[in-house]
Amino acid sequence: MRLGSNTVLMSMATLVLGARRDFPHHRVLSRQAAGVTGQSIIPDLLEGLEKNPALEVGIGINVNISADLDLDLGGFQYGSDKIRGVNLGGWLVLEKWLMPELFNETGNASIIDEWTWGEYQPRDQAESLMKQHWETWITEDDFRQIAALGLTHVRIPIGYWAFQVGPGEPYITGQQTYLDKGIEWARENGIKVLIDLHGVPGSQNGNDHSGRAGPIDWYNNATNVNRTLEVVRQIAQKYTLPPYSDVVTMFELINEPSVWISPLFATVLKQYYLDAYEIVRRPFGEFGPTTDIIVLLQDGFQPMTWWGDFMTPNYNGGDYERVWMDNHYYQAFNPSYGLLDAAGHINTTCNEAGVNFAQAQLPIVDGEWSMGLWGCLANDGVAQPNVGTCNDADPNFGSGYVRFNRAYWDVQTQIYEQVGNGQGWFYWTWKNHIDSPEWGYQLAVQDGWFPQDVTDHVHTRTELCHIVVIRDEPR
């Protein structure tokens, strides 16, 4: 994810279709200015919440989960073991806002993404700075630390250009070597890997993290969709069978497609998912081996009611197995979240993430979420948010910002693990160079926001949402 003019993270309740380019810049919404008075958080937070009718919407829904939820992949019992993961964001796909000093070293402020990285600096410098970054940003020690916290998975974003560079595309390549190292370190530390195709030819969302900030020219260009399917085949041929398949257990077909920008996008995306699924299941064709890997569909910020029964086991007379959904939930990218106090943030999480999870017909994970809140960051619209504008002295967090963050961590992790078909989560992200625990799991643990043991909760989900939520057991 990125903070930028093009990035509005939507809740299911507030889809602002097509509004992304009008995103306000240089705006810090002050809670005080908005007239929100301070409230203490715990235990007042709990008292402030009432049994929430909105969540009961979820209770009424009779959703049929896919039958094949219980499966053992590399010793991990999907369906009963919960996924507790972090993203290795900014490693094999750069994000300027997470690593401003690396971009500073390029000496050219016009470099904002991997495309301009290759375009606007001498080739040898582009290559050596990139290699140095790959070597140092994530090492085996990170995997050891991740495992020691009880985390079970990593999600590794990677761009198509790691597999295929077209004529005229200035990308630097070499990422596969590091992906392979990461997979080996994961194996040694008992961690499972989700490979996430984060950027596709033409760009699926126009954000820097798709490789190239600018126009969205994936869905409207059949060559680009075909190229993407070829990359899916390359990834599937290499990573979904032995010797990788005991570690690489999940494959996400595309990250954050801007499906709402046109009806054509929705049509193309659904066909892409259907076609890519067949390739992933039989990467060497009809007579080759079939694969077991979990195929993850990113929801494009559409609510689960929008997706309905898409690619459930018997969808359209098909035979789909181990297809899961990925939902990204943030309260950082929409000004309306800046109006909420501590109780409101928790309550809204229950209403939005909780209800959405309850309505998923496929197994679902939250593949990106964070402590970042609108109102605690200045979004400059480029890629350089000033985080850390909320702190423990902030009256809006009552008895403490740190304590709020623990409650916000508690409520999110438990919703993603427990509600409906929820299978778990991946925090965005593991580390950053902007000194922000709001966007860095490692730092959040060091600062005492998050527990040393990932199963350790101060509050139950039921306390925080003040309701007996939906279904406690996955089916």
Residue 248: CB partners within 8 Å, gap ≥ 6?
Answer: 183, 192, 193, 194, 195, 239, 240, 293
Question: Which segment (44-52, 191-199, 255-263, 463-471) binds ligand NAG by CB under 6 A?
Answer: 44-52
Near ligand NAG by CB under 6 A: residue from 90, 157, 159, 201: 201
Angle between helices 123-137 and 175-188 (to 10 degrees): 10
Q: Does 199 bind ligand NAG (CB under 6 A)?
A: no
Q: Which of residues 343 and 376 has its CB atom nearest to ligand NAG in the complex?
A: 343
Question: Which segment (131-139, 191-199, 340-348, 367-375) binds ligand NAG by CB under 6 A?
Answer: 340-348
Q: Does 343 bind ligand NAG (CB under 6 A)?
A: yes
Among the options 252, 352, 368, 438, which is catalytic?
A: 368
365: left (phi over 0), alpha (psi -120 to 50) or beta: beta
> CA 192 to CA 18: how far, in whole Å?
36
- Whether 114 sits among the annotated catalytic residues: the reply is no
CB of 160 to ligand NAG, least distance (A): 10
Q: Which of residues 62 and 136 has its CB atom nearest to ligand NAG in the complex?
A: 62
CB of 52 to ligand NAG, least distance (A): 6
Question: Which segment (19-27, 150-158, 170-178, 344-352) binds ligand NAG by CB under 6 A?
Answer: 344-352
CB of 139 to ligand NAG, least distance (A): 25
Q: Dihedral, CA atoms, 386, 392, 393, 395, nearest 10 degrees?
A: 90
Classify 223 as helix, strand or coil.
helix
Q: Does 202 bind ligand NAG (CB under 6 A)?
A: yes
Give the residue among 100, 252, 92 at the shortest CA–CA distance from 178: 92
* Count of chain residues binding ligand NAG (CB under 6 A): 25
Binding mask 216-245 for ligand NAG (x = CB under 6 A): -----xxxx-xx------------------
Q: Does 166 bind ligand NAG (CB under 6 A)?
A: yes
Under 8 Å between Cβ of 413 and 36:
no
CA atoms within a 13 Å half-sphere pointing along the CA-CB vector of 350:
30
Helix, strand, coil proportions of the chain in percent (round to 5)? 40, 15, 50
Residues 72 to 131 in contact with ligand NAG, rule: CB under 6 A: 104, 107-110, 120
Binding mask 56-75 for ligand NAG (x = CB under 6 A): ------x-x-----------
Tokens of 235: 């990834």
Per-residue DSSP letter, 276: H
- Whether 50 sits among the annotated catalytic residues: the reply is no
Q: Which of residues 221 and 290 has its CB atom nearest to ligand NAG in the complex?
A: 221
CB of 120 to ligand NAG, least distance (A): 4
Give the residue among 8, 45, 17, 5 at the shortest CA–CA distance from 330: 8
CB of 62 to ligand NAG, least distance (A): 5
CB of 64 to ligand NAG, least distance (A): 4
DSSP sequence for 12-65: TT---TT-GGGPPPSB---TTTTTPPP---TTHHHHH----HHHHHHHH---PP
CB of 95 to ligand NAG, least distance (A): 15
Q: Which of residues 231 and 376 has its CB atom nearest to ligand NAG in the complex?
A: 231
Near ligand NAG by CB under 6 A: residue from 48, 74, 170, 318: 48
Q: Does 37 bind ligand NAG (CB under 6 A)?
A: no
Q: Does 448 bind ligand NAG (CB under 6 A)?
A: no
**C-beta atoms surrounding 351 within 10 Å:** 21
Under 8 Å between Cβ of 239 and 180:
no
Q: Does 145 bind ligand NAG (CB under 6 A)?
A: no
Among the options 256, 417, 438, 463, which is catalytic?
A: 256
Per-residue DSSP letter, 195: E
Q: Does 344 bind ligand NAG (CB under 6 A)?
A: yes
CA distances, 6 to each of 20, 259, 276, 366 (Å)? 5, 13, 26, 21
Tokens of 15: 């889809």
Under 8 Å between Cβ of 41 and 446:
no
Binding site for ligand NAG (CB under 6 A): 48-49, 52, 54, 62, 64, 104, 107-110, 120, 166, 201-202, 221-224, 226-227, 343-344, 347, 351
Residues labelled catalytic: 256, 368
